[in-house]
Structure formats: structure tokens, C-alpha cells
Amino acid sequence: MTPSVATKTDESDRLRELGGERYRNDQRLGRRWNETVDTILSHRSVRHYLPTPVPYETVELAIAAAQSAPSSSNLQAWSVVAVEDADRRSRLNAVAGNQRQIAQAPLLLIWLADLARPRAIATERGSTAEGLDYVESFLLGVIDAALAAQNAVVAFESLGLGTCYIGAIRNDPETVSRELGLPDGVFPVFGLTVGFPDPAVPAGVKPRLPQTTVLHRESYDGELPQEDLAGYNRVLQSFQSEQAMPLVDWTDQVSSRIATVESLKGRHVLVDVARRLGFKLK
């Protein structure tokens, strides 16, 4: 929808449409539509790509969007490695359990919490950089990387590209680290596949929990909203059936994803791995 030609009624209708897709209930989103919220509310992970390469200038634009994200104390404690080489992508894909979208996407971005750069800067100035040895600094790098990556996602999507986060590279961060030549103090947080979505296999907008479940006013309401959850199970099953996915209750998915150490797929040892990659995590 072009803002110059859109009327207020068009905008309200579009917001109703966007809210309907995201929640499949009567969630109100007001009347203040713009292209930015349209892009954000239309998000869907893309797992089927065309082989067309992502133009390098688009990558540079998305990285500028990433660098425009806020950063804790402006330390900018993140970096990203852009991987296009098919053999390297395939070796990284082995870590991630060989996911189709990694094999298909022409570009894989690996987002890094990067404490090596601030350490090098501090060391040059004769500092011990003791502050980097604490969990807080690891978290800072991870948060900075996540905020940056999500800005890049919004930029890519606004330009007609699709993306899918790949947390599964944390199944084996040491192999990823060796593959990318990461120095001590750099941790691969997640990957992101990027490419032009294959129009033959369009991805749908995955509904989310009703806002009443996640939005607390003034203080946290700890009651499990049973009706909301049952309703969401039904909504998500309709989505799954439209997308020809196996029908699974969301509440069962949540429960099994966190049920056992095995369900963490090797990521239960991440504290030890992060220590070996140069984070003291005090």
C-alpha cells in the first residue's frame, strides 16, 4: 500500500488484515498504519529460496540497518560473517543438522558476539579488560548481535528478501568457530539464511499467542491463561494444516522442546564451550 494514495479507511482495513493474520482473533491494532509496521507484522520465516544470489549492495544496506540498532554503551560488540561459498555452507549445515533452507539459500550470515575487538582495544591501552570476564559481558555481546540481526531481517524483508534464523549452529559452536577462523572471545550466536523466497512455496504468517497472554499491565500475572492456550493450539493447528505441516499442539511442542537434556541437542554444554572459546563467564 502506497502511503500517498492510501485513505484512512484503507489503512484501518490493512491493519485489521495484518492483525487477523498474526492473531486470528479480533485484536485491535488502531488506525496508524505505515510501511514499517506493515513489514514487521508481515514477517514469516522463509525456508524455500530461489538460487538467485543476494546483491552485494543489498547485503551492505542490511548491515547498515544492523549497525543502526542500539548497542549497549555503544560498544558494538558484534560482528557477522557472510558465507556464500557452497562448500563452507555445507560444512556449517552439517553442524545445524542439514537443514534444507541452509542448502538452498544463496547466503548464510553468521552473527557473532564479539568481545575480541573491545579486548584488543583495551589491551592496546594497557588495560586488563577484566570487565569482559563476566557473564554480563557475554550477555551484552549476545544482545547486541541479536538486536543487530533483527534490524537486518526487517531491512531484508522490506526489500522483498526472506530470511530464517538458524539457532542450530549452536549445536557445535567450536566447529563453527574453526570453520570461520574466529579468534578467542568471539561466539557464534546464530545463523541467518537470506535469499529471494521461492514463490512456488510461499510461507504463511505464523499466528502468535493472544496479546493478553504476553502483555502484563503494571505487574506480572503468573496465572496460566488456559483458555488462551487452548485457543492458540486450535489457531496454530489451522495454520499447520494450511501449510501442510504435521498437526501438533503448541503446548506439547513447548513442553517437549524443554523436557530433557537431550532436547537441547548438545547445547547443554554451552558454558564449557563458551569458556573454551575464550569467555570466562564469572
Ligand X SMILES: Cc1cc2nc3c(=O)[nH]c(=O)nc-3n(C[C@H](O)[C@H](O)[C@H](O)COP(=O)(O)O)c2cc1C
Taking the complex as a whole, the smallest distance from the CB of residue 236 to ligand X amounts, in Å, to: 10
Can residue 99 be called a binding residue for ligand X (CB under 6 A)?
yes
Taking the complex as a whole, the smallest distance from the CB of residue 98 to ligand X amounts, in Å, to: 11
CB neighbours of residue 142 within 10 Å: 19
**From 38-46, 108-116, 132-140, 154-162, span contacting ligand X (CB under 6 A):** 38-46
Taking the complex as a whole, the smallest distance from the CB of residue 217 to ligand X amounts, in Å, to: 25
Can residue 16 be called a binding residue for ligand X (CB under 6 A)?
no
3, 51, 70, 167: which one binds ligand X (CB under 6 A): 167
Can residue 168 be called a binding residue for ligand X (CB under 6 A)?
yes
Can residue 145 be called a binding residue for ligand X (CB under 6 A)?
no
Can residue 53 be called a binding residue for ligand X (CB under 6 A)?
no
Can residue 164 be called a binding residue for ligand X (CB under 6 A)?
yes
Can residue 206 be called a binding residue for ligand X (CB under 6 A)?
yes
Q: Which is nearer to ligand X, 16 or 44 (CB)?
A: 44
Can residue 235 be called a binding residue for ligand X (CB under 6 A)?
no
Taking the complex as a whole, the smallest distance from the CB of residue 79 to ligand X amounts, in Å, to: 17
Name 158's bridge partners.
none
Size of the site for ligand X (CB under 6 A): 13
Can residue 44 be called a binding residue for ligand X (CB under 6 A)?
yes
Residues at the interface with ligand X (CB under 6 A): 43-45, 47, 96, 99, 164-168, 190, 206
